[in-house]
Amino acid sequence: AQSVAQPEDQVNVAEGNPLTVKCTYSVSGNPYLFWYVQYPNRGLQFLLKYITGDNLVKGSYGFEAEFNKSQTSFHLKKPSALVSDSALYFCAVRSNTGFQKLVFGTGTRLLVSP
Amino acid sequence: DTAVSQTPKYLVTQMGNDKSIKCEQNLGHDTMYWYKQDSKKFLKIMFSYNNKELIINETVPNRFSPKSPDKAHLNLHINSLELGDSAVYFCASSQMGRGGYNEQFFGPGTRLTVL
């Protein structure tokens, strides 16, 4: 069975500072990893994904994530946070074997202060 | 130009009623999903259809019945609504592809409140 852990319910960062939102996963086979963002009263929006290849993945709005197979992690990062980045962030994983459902983490609320 | 649309956006109803939520996608995707997001924002898949065929059916009460009349539509019918059904329901779609690694596109959600 696959699972995702987002150990932090909330991350606080000042505008202009770098941010990291943590994600670790467990899956049989090789993982497909995703990050989504949810703004208040909205649906989830896709940010980026790792399928194969370069461990550093770049996505929308200046976000990037680093796949680390040995640590089974896929942390989301941004060099300089904006107040408008404040939202709920979800990490998700599925196995690359057969058709498997996408399993989401519990979400991390990012608060960027001015 | 909404990619994935859901109706209604809000649904308030009494316990025991039957209600439906509709979902349409204009992305040409072959796979659609229903998710439930509870009050703690935990997101869990309920159903998935690929080319109108049910491929994922999680442990969901049989009061919930999805119907896919065509690849662009996936509706959710709920019988005998209970208080615990109150949540936000999201529809999503994706193109399955050979590896199933394509991202999903989500609708705006339907907030269901059962009184």
- Tens digit of each residue's pLDDT (9 = 90 or more) over A79-95: 999 999 999 999 999 87
Is B101's CB within 8 Å of A96's CB? yes
Range with the lowest mean pLDDT among A61-65, A80-84, B93-97, B111-115?
B93-97
Find the distance separating the first CA and the last CA of chain B, reported in whole Å.
Answer: 34
DSSP of B28-71? --SEEEEEEE-TT--EEEEEEEETTEEEEE-S--TTEEEEEEET
Chain A segment 60-89 residues within 8 A of B by beta carbon are 88
Give the pLDDT confidence score for residue A98 in this predicted structure.
Answer: 65
pLDDT of A96 strictly over 80: no
Which residues on B lie below 8 Å from A100 (Cβ)? 100
Return d(Cα B77, Cα A33) in angstroms, integer: 31
At B45-88, the pLDDT tens digits run 999 998 888 888 887 889 999 999 999 999 999 999 999 999 99
- Read off the pLDDT of residues A69-80 as tens digits, 9 standing for 90 and up: 999 999 999 999
The distance of A36 to chain B (nearest Cα, Å) reads: 10
Which chain A residues touch B98 with a CB distance below 8 Å? none
Check if A53 contacts B (Cβ < 8 Å). Answer: no
Q: What is the pLDDT of residue B99?
A: 63
Burial A18-52 (b: 16+ CB within 10 A, else e): ebebbbbbebeeebbbbbbbbeeeebbbbbbbbee
Distance from CA of A57 to the nearest CA of B (A): 14
Nearest CA in chain A to B42: A106
Q: Return residues 23-82 of B near A (CB < 8 Å).
A: 40-45, 48, 50, 55-56, 58
The minimal CB distance from A43 to the residues B45, B90, B96 is found for B90
Rounded distance, CA B5 to CA B112, Å? 16
The Cα–Cα gap between A98 and B32 comes to 17
Tokens of B31: 């796979």
Omega before residue B8 within 30° of 0, cis: yes
